[in-house]
């Protein structure tokens, strides 16, 4: 994108007609409610859209909106930004048209000669607006500011910037606690109470998931410390209950329950230095059993094993994400035992073998599920955070292949790694996908070079010389790959790339 002041998006957008500006914003709001809203259903769509009609879209409100004159402004632009970052080409097909609707018609030809702006360009632009219009949350906090901070954290998660994601999430937790979202809210009107409750539990589950992804301890306590109840569904409650929610809100209690398992895995398996490997193995087996029970107790409309052609869109997308997180949590639980299981294959315990095969199966299932989704559902290709799941699964497979663990179908595992490469290729517009692909190709090339070496079998018979892939973080936000082999050049590749959306 050009840095020329006359052709930058920051310069162009204010010169568009009010109608063009709002149409662009509406495009991304529609994308948000068709994508990320299903995964983090904290907002009331009807209430939000009514506030847009009253506070964001009237011409008389526009200047105040961009100055952050109302507490709704930051939330509004955060929704627009998050919708933009995951918007599919189909959703943005009219974007170029609206970018040529100038107040001064003489500027149209100049704009046509200038750069074309993508949804990611607009994501960065509106993210900046959300930050500027959020206001000073250290001095004044409200429900909208807590919601805005959460959505900005989710934005950074999707732009693959884990530190920024962590910081925004921490601020969302503090803000929510400061205004009492974790306490009883019985005095609030039912509609406000429901939205506040949804916001709190979305913050809770996101904080835990995000901290596990970055290898950091979360700041949440166990559920009994909080007075706010989980959302109740209309199918499980009295029809007259004013707090009952529609079925699409079931994503929240499902993710809270999964977050508890993830948090315990993080604390007990990754951040407990005094436990023996045997103790951790027993804890991991118990956590895995809880994970299986979690999967079995999901509502029928979120059954991860059921594939119904008449699923509503929200259920289809929620099940897709829950499957990915289920596989990822299984990997989180069993990954700590891979090195021990592959170090001495002749003497490793049966339990270590169980951990290895469970982790391997989860990694393969995750990759193949994503591959099938990318083949048939093109909108998934702009859910950028999927790159981390694909990368992490591939690292598991490559570690096991390079470790020469007996009895594994190496050719099939490498085929799955190739599928990950295809996933990254379909996301070739972003730098992180290209770097992930480059990293995997380099490791694969080194592996094939090793196979072509005459003394390879003698070399592999020495357990100390086994080539390894070491994955540093517990779940896939940053993967550091280290290929060790005296017969090939040493390779150390960092995959901590992120979008240029800072």
**Looking at residue 174, what is its pLDDT?**
96
330-340, pLDDT tens digit by residue? 999 999 999 88
Q: Which two tokens stand for residue 189?
A: 């009107």
More confident position, 379 or 149: 149
Lowest mean pLDDT among 30-34, 105-109, 329-333: 105-109
pLDDT value of position 251 = 98
**Residue in 122, 38, 43, 45 with CA at minimum distance from that of residue 80:** 122
Percent residues over pLDDT 70 in the chain = 85
Kindly report, residue by residue over 113-138, the tens digit of the pLDDT: 556 889 999 999 999 999 999 999 89
H or E segment and range at residue 127:
helix 119-134
% of the chain at pLDDT higher than 90: 58
Contact, 275 vs 225, CB < 8 A?
no
Q: Are strands 244-245 and 232-233 parallel, antiparallel or unpaired?
A: parallel
Q: Is the pLDDT of residue 434 over 60?
A: yes
Per-residue confidence (pLDDT) for residue 471, from 0 to 100: 42
Domains of the chain by residue range: 1-135, 246-494
pLDDT at 77: 99
Q: Average pLDDT, stretch 350-361? A: 95
Calpha distance 401→443 (Å, rounded) = 11
What's the predicted TM-score (pTM) here?
A: 0.88
Q: Any idea what the Cα angle at residue 501 is, between residues 85 and 167, rounded to 5°?
A: 95
Q: Beta-carbon neighbour count of residue 176 at 10 Å?
A: 26
- Of 78-92, 225-239, 428-442, which gets the smallest average pLDDT? 428-442
Amino acid 213: pLDDT: 85
What confidence tens digit (pLDDT) does each residue in 211-232 have?
998 889 899 988 889 999 999 9
User: Strand 244-245 relative to strand 480-483: parallel, antiparallel, unpaired?
Assistant: unpaired
Q: Does residue 403 surpass a pLDDT of 90?
A: no
Which band of pLDDT confidence, cut at 50, 70 and 90, is reported for residue 460? very low
Closest CA to 29 of 85, 71, 72: 85
**In which band, very low, low, confident or very high, does the pLDDT at 6 lie, cut at 50, 70 and 90?**
low
Closest C-alpha among 38, 75, 48 to residue 246? 38
CA distance 56 to 75: 11
Banded pLDDT at 489 (limits 50, 70, 90): very low
């Amino acid at each position: 994108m050009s840095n020329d002041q006359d052709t930058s998006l920051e310069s162009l957008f204010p010169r568009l007609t009010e109608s063009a500006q709002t149409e662009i914003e509406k495009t991304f709001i529609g994308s948000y409610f068709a994508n990320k809203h299903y995964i983090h259903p904290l907002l009331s769509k009807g209430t939000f859209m009514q506030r847009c009609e009253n506070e964001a879209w009237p011409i008389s409100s526009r200047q105040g909106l961009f100055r952050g004159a109302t507490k709704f402004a930051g939330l509004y632009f955060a929704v627009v930004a998050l919708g933009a970052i995951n918007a599919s080409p189909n959703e943005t097909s009219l974007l170029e048209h609206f970018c040529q609707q100038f107040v001064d018609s003489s500027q149209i030809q100049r704009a046509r000669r200038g750069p074309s702006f993508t949804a990611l360009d607009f994501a960065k632009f509106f993210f900046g607006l959300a930050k500027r219009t959020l206001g000073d949350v250290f001095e004044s906090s409200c429900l909208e500011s807590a919601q805005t901070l959460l959505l900005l954290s989710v934005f950074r998660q999707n732009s693959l910037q884990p530190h920024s994601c962590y910081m925004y999430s921490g601020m969302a937790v503090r803000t929510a606690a400061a205004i009492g979202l974790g306490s009883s809210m019985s005095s609030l009107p039912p509609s406000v109470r429901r939205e506040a409750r949804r916001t709190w539990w979305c913050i809770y589950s996101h904080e835990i998931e995000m901290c596990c992804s970055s290898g950091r301890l979360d700041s949440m306590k166990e559920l009994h410390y909080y007075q706010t109840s989980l959302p109740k569904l209309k199918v499980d409650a009295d029809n007259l209950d004013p707090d009952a929610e529609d079925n699409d809100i079931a994503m929240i209690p499902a993710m809270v329950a999964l977050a508890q398992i993830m948090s315990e895995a993080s604390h007990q398996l990754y951040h407990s230095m005094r436990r023996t490997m045997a103790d951790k193995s027993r804890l991991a087996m118990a956590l895995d059993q809880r994970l299986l029970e979690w999967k079995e107790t999901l509502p029928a409309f979120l059954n991860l094993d059921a594939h119904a052609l008449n699923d509503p869109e929200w259920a289809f997308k929620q099940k897709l994400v829950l499957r990915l997180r289920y596989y990822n949590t299984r990997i989180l639980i069993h990954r700590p035992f891979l090195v021990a299981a592959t170090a001495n294959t002749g003497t490793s315990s049966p339990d270590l073998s169980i951990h290895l095969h469970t982790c391997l199966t989860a990694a393969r299932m995750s990759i193949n599920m994503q591959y099938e989704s990318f083949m048939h559902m093109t909108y998934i290709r702009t859910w950028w955070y999927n790159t981390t799941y694909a990368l992490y699964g591939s690292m598991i497979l490559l570690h096991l292949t390079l470790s020469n663990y007996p009895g594994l179908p190496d050719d099939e595992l490498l085929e799955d790694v190739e599928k990950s490469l295809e996933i990254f290729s379909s996301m070739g517009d972003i730098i992180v996908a290209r770097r992930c692909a480059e990293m995997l190709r380099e490791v694969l090339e080194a592996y094939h070079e090793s196979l072509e070496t005459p003394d390879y079998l003698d070399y592999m018979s020495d357990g100390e010389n086994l080539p390894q892939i070491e994955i540093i973080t517990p779940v896939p936000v940053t993967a550091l790959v280290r290929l060790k082999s005296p017969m090939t050049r040493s390779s150390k590749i960092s995959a901590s790339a992120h979008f240029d959306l800072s």
